[in-house]
Amino acid sequence: MKVRIDPEICQGQGRCFSIAPQIFDFDELGNGVVLGDGLLTSETIELARLAQANCPEHAVFIEDSP
């Protein structure tokens, strides 16, 4: 599984990188960005789902990785 943030939808609410700093970071404007390749492990998948469930803009997507 892979996580991504849609930069068109993200408004910098700041929930993802507060909840899961292992997975997300912020850019100079305070918008969320995914660290590295966004591939999730069995240890990080639940945390990514929690971040997704807290994004008010619905900008976090978790998808099957190819």
Partner 1 sequence: MSDVVDESVAHKTPVQDFAADWDHTDPQWVNDPYPIWDDLRERCPVAHTERYGGGWFPTTHEMVTSIANDTEHFTSRMVVVTHNKFPPNFIPAPVGGAPPITSDPPFHSIARRVILPAFAPGPVNALEPQIRALCNKHLDEMVGREFVDGGTDYAQFIPPGVIATMLGFPSEDEEIFRDIVHLVLDLIDLPTEVRGPLFEPMGEYFAKQIDDHIEYPRDDLTSYLLNVEVGGNKLERQHVAGTMVLILVAGIDTTWSAIGSAIWHLAQHPDDLARLVNEPELMPVAVEEFLRFYAPVTMARLVAEDHEFFGSPMKKDDWVLLGFPAANRDPKVFADADKFIIDRAANRHAAFGLGIHRCVGSNLARLELRVAIEEFIKRFPRFELADRDAVTWAPGQVRGPRHLPLRILP
Binding-site ranges for partner 1 (CB under 8 A): 11-15, 17-18, 26-30, 50, 53-58
Is the Cβ of residue 6 or residue 27 nearer to partner 1 in the bound state?
A: 27
Q: Which amino acid, residue 61? A: F
| Sign of the alpha-carbon dihedral angle for 8, 10, 30, 43 | negative
CB 64 within 8 A of CB 38: no
Q: What is the Cα–Cα distance from 3 to 17, expressed in whole angstroms?
A: 13
Q: Output the smallest distance, CB 19 to partner 1, in A.
A: 8
Is the Cβ of residue 4 or residue 30 nearer to partner 1 in the bound state?
A: 30
Q: Output the smallest distance, CB 18 to partner 1, in A.
A: 7
